[in-house]
Amino acid sequence: MSEDTIGAIATPPGKGGVAIVRISGKEALPIAEKMFIPAGGVAVRDFSPYRLYPGRIAAEGFSDYGLCVYFRAPHSYTGEDIVEFQCHGGESVARGILAKCFSLGARSAGRGEFTRRAFLNGKLSLASAEGLADMINGESEAEVRAGYLLYSEKLTEQVREFQNQLKELLAGVDAAVDYPEEDLEEREAEALRPELVRIRDAVSALAAGYAKGRKIKSGVTVALCGKPNTGKSSLLNRLVGYEKAIVSEIAGTTRDAVEGTLEIGGVRFNLYDTAGMRESSDRIESIGIERAENIVRAADVVVFVSDGTEKGDDEEARVRRLAGEKPVIRLRNKIDLQEGELSSEADVLTSATTGEGVERLKELLYEKSFGARGEDAAFLIEERHFRALRRAAESLGRAAEGCCVQPLELVAADMTEAWETLGEITGETASEAVVEEIFSKFCVGK
């Protein structure tokens, strides 16, 4: 537990109904005794934990009427004594109360220092702290959900289970190495290999969840592409709900990519209306087409838009080459202008003018990105966790391959390396630089 007491304003800057000033450390309660006068006559030192008490809060140069609550160590957010003052929401009021805390011995908290103390005091894992940051910074419902799963120790529990399994296996390996006269080494190696393969496969399967988690955190990139004047800009406007892109009957109006954003199933989708693909002698349009190709290469999902007025086989083949293994949705637009039976070759038929088929397009975008709706949200949303899991799986693979062809001491070294790599996720073996970087992303009052 830290020797000093830290303080910060825990609520966002600006005017509001209530502001919260938080102090944490061994001097939190003594500081509160010197600056809070309870209305009910109960002394601050006799406060029942986790209960709100009304009274007068002394600030630098003035006072305010508010509430005080005491969280007793170790059953608090940081694992230390915490006192929170709830005052009226003006910035000057909160700053004055915080200044009083400083004058009585507290110091200003650094970024994420409350949560860092929670981590150091064993109140949460490093992965859980990252999940909390994802919840705070989440820009979509799905990102907040995934952050909550990470914060609630779901990933930490799985990783620690892998570590416990490895620890048990290492105990058997150590016994076989320590007692060679009992001929345990060969039998241990034979039994060890399938167990290592099983753990490696489970770790790899967990790492595979990052393919979805990355898109939940960063948003799904969607490229709207096709020949000029097929209604891509109108489709973008219809999807985002307002006029984001310029719409014109003149082919080639879109010279540069236009971005719009919408949520589908709580997930952020970043849509790019790209320049129509065709051979062009116009230098500016050619640059736009080149940028469109780059967006298709980088996209998670590609929508090839046609309007049924002419064949677009060459352009579609070009788009599919650029997209590689990524899903391509074939969309036929402007169906409100077409007569007779519509072709069934398209994946979805739409009218950007009337909105027909747009909801089906949204469903397809989600399905191509994540599968059927209703699946559990991926909680592997941090690249750091993905890289650690992949390295752990590689170490386990080497250990499994070496079981019957090299000394068990070398196998144990790979197993230990896997255990330590997994510990980087929970924070047990994370470097100080990694810990510092994670908590520097928090605000001062968290």
Binding residues: 22, 84, 123, 229-234, 248-254, 273-276, 446
Residue list for the binding site for GTP:
229-234, 248-254, 273-276
- In the annotated binding site for Mg(2+), the residues are 233, 254
Binding positions for K(+): 229, 248, 250, 253
Annotated binding site for (6S)-5-formyl-5,6,7,8-tetrahydrofolate: 22, 84, 123, 446
Q: Which of 273, 243, 240 is nearest to 256 (CA)?
A: 273
The structure tokens listed for 217 are 């955190």
- 3 state SS for the chain: CCCCCEEEECCCCCCCCEEEEEEECCCHHHHHHHHEEECCCCCHHHCCCCCEEEEEEECCCCEEEEEEEEECCCCCCCCCCEEEEEEECCHHHHHHHHHHHHHCCCEECCCCHHHHHHHHCCCCCHHHHHHHHHHHHCCCHHHHHHHHHHHCCHHHHHHHHHHHHHHHHHHHHHHHHHCHHHCHHHHHHHHHHHHHHHHHHHHHHHHHCHHHHHHHHHCEEEEEEECCCCCHHHHHHHHHCCCCCCCCCCCCCCCCCEEEEEEECCEEEEEEECCCCCCCCCHHHHHHHHHHHHHHHHCCEEEEEECCCCCCHHHHHHHHHHHCCCCEEEEECCHHHCCCCCCCCCCEECCCCCCCCHHHHHHHHHHHHHCCCCCCCCCCCCHHHHHHHHHHHHHHHHHHHHCCCCCHHHHHHHHHHHHHHHHHHHCCCCCHHHHHHHHCCCCCCC
Within 8 A by CB and 6+ apart from 246, the residues are: 233, 253, 254, 258
CA–CA dist 95, 108 (Å, integer): 11
CB 105 within 8 A of CB 27: yes
Q: Which two tokens stand for residue 333?
A: 């637009």
Q: In sequence order, which residues have a C-beta less than 8 Å from that of residue 92 and are 6 or more positions away?
A: none
344 φ/ψ angles, rounded to the nearest 5 degrees: -95, 5
